[in-house]
Structure 1
Amino acid sequence: MGVVVRQKVKGKGNPWWVFVYHDGKRISRKVGDKRAAEAVASEIRARLKLGQFGFEGKRPVPTFVQYANEWIETTVPATCKASTLRDYQDILRLHVLPEFGEMSLTDIKRGMVKDFLLKKLNEGYAVSTVTHLKNVISGVLNKAVDNEILPANPAHGLGKILKQKARGEAMDPLSVEELRALLETVQQYYPEHYTLFLLLARTGMRIGEALALQWG
């Protein structure tokens, strides 16, 4: 149980909010300045001690997939190109929804998102690809913050981890001769894999990205 007073966006002139966490549930309200928010928080704390503050009548917290559908249908078309919209739809369908789709928004924690991103890196996806995954997750959760369902975005700041990973990657590409020799060897001894190796050589894809491709 707890009552927290803070700004969602720090800065002079920005509103202050009161966040109430009680019996596994939470609500938030924009109050105004800090003094008014502290007064409201004190009253709520007193009512909680007396058992006079409840959450009756609150709507159930949406699942991630419910909010993702709303985000992809309203926010993304208004702010992104059609090609970006298609990319985000694919990212949700192939990666994000299988992991978080049926979870309640309030059950998604920062550690879960971090572990998911690291898992994708370990599976061979490029840092740039995993950054796109993070941006999609963060976009959905930001909408939940804006609509006062979440007090903060669990994915906020996780891009720093991906940047550190990118700086730590040392590239040692094959020379033209080495690449030609590799493709000739694969074509001769492993012809069933030649198309895959040729795709990797000509596009620079990671193996995880190539294996996720589908026809159509």
Structure 2
Amino acid sequence: MEKTGITITKRKDGRYVGKFIADYADNGKVQYHYVYGKTYEEAESKVLIGREIATRYLSGRYITVEKIYVEWLNAVVNRVKESTLANYRNKFEKHILPEFGDVPCADLTAGKINAFINQKLADGLSASYVRDIFTVFKTMLKYAQDEYGFKLSLKSVVLPKAARKQIEKISDTEQKKLVSYLKSNMSLTAFGILLSLFMGLRIGELCGLKWEDVDFRNKILHIRRTVQRISSANGNRKTKIVISAPKSATSFREIAIPDMLMKYFEMFRDEADYFIISGTNKPVEPRTMQYRYKKILQSAEVEDHNYHKLRHTFATNSAEKGFNVKALSAVLGHSSVTLTLNRYIHPDRTYERRLMNMCMQL
């Protein structure tokens, strides 16, 4: 008999059988699923449960990547930083949606994703960036599977190996030239560069410093915020400056201020709660600081390099001078000592030889 769209019949052996639509074949033909029960009520209950599961599966089976993307973005908007959300949007709207936007999530295969990865590499994107794109995509697909009950096998996706470039520190000779120029042409910008070189501050952290972050009595600098430019959420490709919490939980930190720098904190000290590097209630944005740094390198006749090399140089110098690596990791705001060792510390042969000779002393 049929009741509320459910088909249940009694077999000759006395059992009841119920059927419901479980899926559709590629040619559109209906595929049924059958359940059995000793009583009508038991069969009916199994049909209702099975139909609910199948309906949810089918709705997810044909839902596209773009629709899931919008749903997923709304789910994470209150759990991630604004800059992280902007990063998600950028990778999806620039790379993933143009390729897969109208494709049902359940139809994605490792082969299709591998072809996508190879094309991005052929377009000139770095292996590291392509891996980041896939990581974000995979996060969204996990949400889709959890919500709609289908399964994707991504085990055969082959990610390119991201070869980490070894960044050399600024040479000792170039460091001396740069520091000499900065001290002879002292300004808030020059002071900021010294903070990055001798305290390892990220450029966004430097731009976010306020005078309230300086503990003059205990000679401590508090890292509490960062400044960065991100894409706007309205899709018009405009960008905006945001002031937010530091990169991670471990990036909130306190750093002892070296005596040499303390005199410059005293020199520029402002009772108003301004941003230190700008001297106003508005921060200098990172790309402006980068531009100013390039101009100073030219004036100081120091070989051109990017601003982040200051932080790398601080880390390497500290390690070479015997700074405890765990303490150094805390100063840099890293989540683990391993990150500090792998990313920033590349001692030269002179330092390595000195350590080897020390080990030989009995």
TM-score by length of 1: 0.48
* Structure of larger gyration radius: 2
TM-score by length of 2: 0.30
Q: Which of structures 1 and 2 has the larger relative contact order (alpha carbons within 8 angstroms, sep 6+)?
A: 1
- From the two aligned structures, give the one with the greater helix fraction: 1
